[in-house]
Amino acid sequence: KKVKATAEPYLFYLPKMQERIAERLAIESGLRRALDEDQFVLYYQPKLDFSTLQIVGLEALIRWQHPEQGMIPPSRFIPILEETGLILKVGEWVLRRALDDAEYLSHQDIKVPRIAVNVSSLQLKQDNFVQVITRLVQARHASVVLDLEITESLLMEDVDININKLEALRHLGVKIMIDDFGTGYSSLSYIARLPIDALKIDRSFVENMTESPNSLSIVTSVISLAHSLNFKVIAEGVETEEQAKFLRLLRCDQVQGFLYGRPEPLHTIADRLIGNALQG
Ligand code: C2E
Ligand code: MG
Ligand code: MG
Ligand code: MG
C-alpha cells in the first residue's frame, strides 16, 4: 500500500517532466543556431531627462525572432543562455550590435544619445571582460556612448575585483549603472565604494509607489541615497502620470517606461530621435 502511494504521483508527473525537458532541449538547440542565423534583434527604449524631457539615453533590449514562434522575450531565454554559457557570445554580439547601431544613427546626422547595454554575471566575471569592451569601443571612430547596466546582486559578489574592472571601464568613458536597484541586499558601505554613475530604481517600487507607503519610502530613500553619493538616479517602468508627478517632486533625474516610450526597433527610434532634435 505504501509503495503505491509514492509511485503514483511519480508516474503522474513523469510525462509532464519529459515534455518540459524536451521543450527545454529544443530551446537550447534553437539558441545555438540563433546567433549563426541572425535571429536576435535589439529593441531600444528611450530614457528621458526629467527636466528637459529630451531623450538622453537608449537601453538596448534583446529579443529572439524565432522562425516559428515569433518574437520571444528575454525572460524566456536569458536564463538558458546563462546556464549554457552561450551568454558570452550573445553578450558580445549585443555589445557589437549596439555600438554599430550607435554609429548608424550618427551617420543619419542624429545626435546619438548614450546607449545602455545589460551585462550578465558570467560576462562580468570573465577575466578578459574589460579587454573585450576596450576592443569593441576602440574599434570605432565615434566617441564612446556606451553605458553598462549591471544588477545589484552581481556587483556585490567579488566587490574588490569588480571595483577594478569598473574603474578601468570608466577610464574608457563607459558609464556604469546599477540595474533593478532595491531588489538586492547590498550593504551601504559597498555601494559608496563602487565606482558607478547611476542607480536605476526597480520597476516594482515605481509600480506601487502611489499606493504603497513602503514602496514610496523606498523610492524616496533610493533617490536621496543616490544624490548624496553623487550618483544619478533613473526610475524604470514609469507607466502613469501620477507616478511621474511623484518622481518629479522627489527630483528623480531620468525616467524610462511605457509612459515615455516602449522598446522599439532601431528605425522607429531613429525617427523619434529626429523629432526629438527638432523639438529641442
Ligand atoms: P531590465 O534591464 O530591468 O529592463 C527593463 C524591462 O522592463 C524590459 O523588459 C522593458 O521592456 C520593461 N519595461 C520598461 N518599461 C516598462 C513599463 O513601463 N512597464 C512594464 N511593465 N515594463 C517595462 P524586457 O525587454 O523583457 O527585458 C527583461 C530583462 O531581460 C531586462 O530587464 C534585462 O535584465 C534582461 N535583458 C534584456 N536584454 C538583455 C541583454 O542584451 N543582455 C542581458 N544580459 N540581459 C538582457
Ligand atoms: Mg536594464
Ligand atoms: Mg532594470
Ligand atoms: Mg528590471
> 20-50 pLDDT, tens per residue?
888 888 889 999 999 999 999 999 999 999 9
Burial of 14 (0-12, 13-18, 19+ CB in 10 A): exposed
User: Quick check: CB of 263 below 6 Å from ligand 1?
Assistant: yes
Q: Which of 44, 61, 183 to mutate to test the pocket of ligand 1 (most atoms within 8 A of CB)?
A: 61
Binning pLDDT at 50, 70 and 90, where does residue 8 land?
low
Share of the chain above pLDDT 70, in %: 93
Cα 239 to averaged position of ligand 3 atoms, centre (Å): 14
Binning pLDDT at 50, 70 and 90, where does residue 10 land?
low
**Better-predicted residue by pLDDT, 173 or 3:** 173
Give me the interface pTM, i.e. the ipTM: 0.98
User: Quick check: CB of 243 below 6 Å from ligand 1?
Assistant: no
- The predicted model scores a pTM of 0.93
> 200-218 pLDDT, tens per residue?
999 999 999 999 999 999 9
> 151-162 pLDDT, tens per residue?
887 777 888 888
User: Quick check: CB of 94 below 6 Å from ligand 1?
Assistant: yes
Cα 10 to averaged position of ligand 4 atoms, centre (Å): 36
Longest CA pairwise span in the chain (Å)? 78
User: Quick check: CB of 74 below 6 Å from ligand 1?
Assistant: yes
Cα 8 to averaged position of ligand 2 atoms, centre (Å): 44
User: Quick check: CB of 180 below 6 Å from ligand 1?
Assistant: yes
The cell numbers describing 79, all together, are 536564463
Count of C-beta atoms within a 10 Å radius of residue 53: 13
Contact 51, 276 (CB under 8 A): no
Cα 118 to averaged position of ligand 2 atoms, centre (Å): 5
